[in-house]
Amino acid sequence: MPDSKLLLIPLGGLGEFGMNCMALRYGDDIIVIDAGMMFPEAELLGVDIVTPDFTYLEQNREHVRALVLTHGHEDHIGGVPFLLSQMNLPVYGTPFTLALVERRLEEHDLLKTAQLHQVKPLERVSIGPFSIEFVHVTHSIVSAVALAITTPLGVIIHTGDFKVDPTPTDNELFDLHTLAAYGKRGVLLLLSDSTNVDRPGYTESERAVRPRLEDLFARSERRLVISCFSSSIHRLQQILDLAAEYGRKVAFLGRSMLSTTEISHDLGLLSIPDNILLRPQDIMSMAPSKTCVVMSGTQGEPMSALSRAAVDNHKNVSIEAGDTVVLSSRIIPGNEKPIYRMINHLAKRGADIVYGHMNPPIHVSGHASSEELKLVLNLVRPRYFMPIHGEYRQLARHAALAQHLRHQGLEDTFVLETGETLEIDRQGARRAGRVTVGRVCIDSGSLDDIVEDIVIRDRRHLSEDGFVLPIIAINKHTGKSENLPEIVSRGFVSLEEGADLMKEARMVVAKTLETSTHEERTDWGVMQEKIRADLKRFLTKQTSRRPLIMPVILEV
């Protein structure tokens, strides 16, 4: 590729939620921005997580220079172990982001070989032809940054995830001045978060949650159980401060909650008042009016601390009548069923449950609403604009939001989906070709347990129509069946209803054996296929269903 071209290659996160990953290429140098994951939809049976297909990066591994991270949410760092298992890249991120990455790399035995480089806001790093300045932004997680990437063709601003919070709880303001300074000098391309583009106005500040939390601490007569995302350090800080104010001890429950609070405290991002922490094993022996339990599990994950407590299956805490349970989070689309099932269990235990939209709010978003998105567009005033992070409808709406900049130098907007590329040179920007993209399904989080499409298809097949196992004993000398075949089925028909059908099915298999030549009967592979085909034809005709048929031939 000629050195004068700049390519933007989205490997995930455009036209979908999660799996955020963007490759930026100039000549023979590639940097990767974020490597996220997403949780599987219901049809991906038995799959734990989904990561982008990194084939393009593998094919160009000698050109990939580094991985640069914007912040520590799973949809931006969850795929890092799977990328680093394929190529050992230098990784750049803020200390908190890298601390979260370290935890994942440790789980996959990749930490010893990882090349992790800590950066701070307003610091610059040079990687090949790219000079990257890290710009502090406010988000629902601490230490989030936007990237100002200077290339030989101009500056690219990548916002990462953000909202413009005028009163953040840690008083670290969104660095609008640096973005505005780039805007004055001239920005070639803006890549901006589209998650909340369909929300009018401004996203509320994190401080907006405090009045509701304060009200709950003031009026809860018994135990207060609060569940929030473990990465919401600002929220955890407010809970700790209020607990100290109202004389309650705080216990943290859940693996991710314990790990994240430990990391953030070590880095000085979470201030824990003296003598406020309560050991999990001491929760039930403490007066309920003096305890506050903070646990993970806002999305109803089956093995999370809150889900187990909801069915009275947690070793350290029991939810009792009169306790107040607070879900300080949003319901992620697709998670409604497990969340409401968990809420129902909590209600059966007599708990007072606080969740959903209310005023003042119990949760605020970490993503910018339409007016904040306009603010960033107006400050940056890019020559080209490409919305990122969101489904197609959100990307399209964000592109429409930028049209008012047409008279201020905006030449074009590009709504791309994962796999479509944008090419920029001295003549301008245009859509280019496609690259290989897709999803890699991971079972049980192991690097070796990549689930193939055919496995997903078989699981769906099994879940819908069950399976049928014809078991045939064949004499290895004569090639003949010793007796009538046995047929075992599960999830297909009940024993009572299917008795006659199974008798007929046995006869079909027996006939297949009888009408086969001696040569066919001594070739197991041929016989398995013949039995499968004949039995499939018979069962489909009789039942209009297509179970998974797996003939088993025993040599006797």
Question: What distance in Å separates the CA atoms of residue 247 and residue 218, rounded to the nearest whole number?
Answer: 11
User: Does 367 qualify as catalytic in the annotation?
Assistant: yes
Please compute Rg for the chain using Cα positions: 29
Q: pLDDT digit string (tens) for 462-491?
A: 667 777 888 888 776 666 776 778 888 877
What are residue 224's DSSP bridge partners? 292, 324
What are residue 472's DSSP bridge partners? 553
- Say what the pLDDT of residue 545 is: 79
User: Number of structural domains, the chain?
Assistant: 3
- What average pLDDT does this structure show over 226-231? 94
Core vs surface per residue 406-432: b (16+ CB within 10 A) or e: eeeebeebbbbebbbbbbbeeeebeeb
Q: Which CATH number covers residue 404?
A: 3.60.15.10
- What average pLDDT does this structure show over 524-541? 84
Q: pLDDT digit string (tens) for 39-50?
A: 766 555 455 678
Q: How confident is the model at residue 549 (pLDDT cuts 50, 70, 90)?
A: confident
Q: Are residues 339 and 380 in the same domain?
A: no
Q: Are residues 341 and 407 in the same domain?
A: no
Residue 313: pLDDT over 70: yes
**343 touches 353 (CB < 8 A):** yes
Question: What distance in Å separates the CA atoms of residue 32 and residue 80, rounded to the nearest whole number?
Answer: 11
Q: Are residues 147 and 214 in the same domain?
A: no
Closest CA to 509 of 535, 528, 489, 527: 535
Q: Are residues 130 and 10 in the same domain?
A: yes
Supply the range of the domain harboring residue 537: 466-555
* HSE, side-chain direction, 13 A CA sphere, residue 279: 3
Q: Which of 136, 139, 158, 367 is catalytic?
A: 367
Q: Kindly report the CA angle at 95 between 94 and 100, in degrees rounded to 5?
A: 100
Q: Which of 310, 328, 354 is the last residue of a domain?
A: 354
- What average pLDDT does this structure show over 433-444? 76
Determine, yes or no, domain membership for 430.
yes
Of 522 and 274, which is predicted with more confidence?
A: 274
Residue 28: pLDDT over 70: yes
Q: Are residues 420 and 347 in the same domain?
A: no
Q: Residue 278 contacts by C-beta under 8 Å, 6 or more apart in sequence?
A: 249, 250, 251, 286, 291
Q: Are residues 372 and 318 in the same domain?
A: no
Determine, yes or no, domain membership for 151.
yes
- Say what the pLDDT of residue 457 is: 61
Q: Which CATH number covers residue 331?
A: 3.40.50.10710
Q: pLDDT digit string (tens) for 55-106?
A: 999 999 999 999 999 999 999 999 999 999 999 999 999 999 999 999 999 9
Q: Are residues 165 and 302 in the same domain?
A: no
Which residue type is seen at 254? G
Determine, yes or no, domain membership for 429.
yes
Q: Are residues 282 and 407 in the same domain?
A: no
Q: Are residues 219 and 298 in the same domain?
A: yes
Which residue type is seen at 253? L
Closest CA to 267 of 78, 102, 122: 102
- What average pLDDT does this structure show over 234-255? 96
Q: Are residues 106 and 128 in the same domain?
A: yes
Q: How confident is the model at residue 4 (pLDDT cuts 50, 70, 90)?
A: confident
Q: Which of 161, 165, 193, 352 is catalytic?
A: 193
Residue showing tokens 């350090």 = 233
Backbone φ and ψ for 526, nearest 5 degrees, come out as -65, -45
Q: pLDDT digit string (tens) for 135-192?
A: 999 999 999 999 999 999 999 999 999 999 999 999 999 999 999 999 999 999 999 9
Q: Which of 374, 409, 442 is the last residue of a domain?
A: 442
Q: Are residues 63 and 132 in the same domain?
A: yes
Question: What distance in Å separates the CA atoms of residue 267 and residue 321, rounded to the nearest whole number?
Answer: 38
User: Does 136 qualify as catalytic in the annotation?
Assistant: no
Question: What distance in Å separates the CA atoms of residue 108 and residue 173, rounded to the nearest whole number?
Answer: 35
- Say what the pLDDT of residue 516 is: 81
Determine, yes or no, domain membership for 311.
yes
Q: Residue 154 contacts by C-beta under 8 Å, 6 or more apart in sequence?
A: 186, 187, 188, 189, 383
Determine, yes or no, domain membership for 299.
yes
Q: pLDDT digit string (tens) for 386-397?
A: 999 999 999 999
Closest CA to 328 of 350, 348, 291, 358: 358
- Say what the pLDDT of residue 1 is: 44
Q: Which of 316, 332, 354 is the last residue of a domain?
A: 354
State pTM to two decimals: 0.81
Determine, yes or no, domain membership for 427.
yes
Q: Are residues 72 and 144 in the same domain?
A: yes
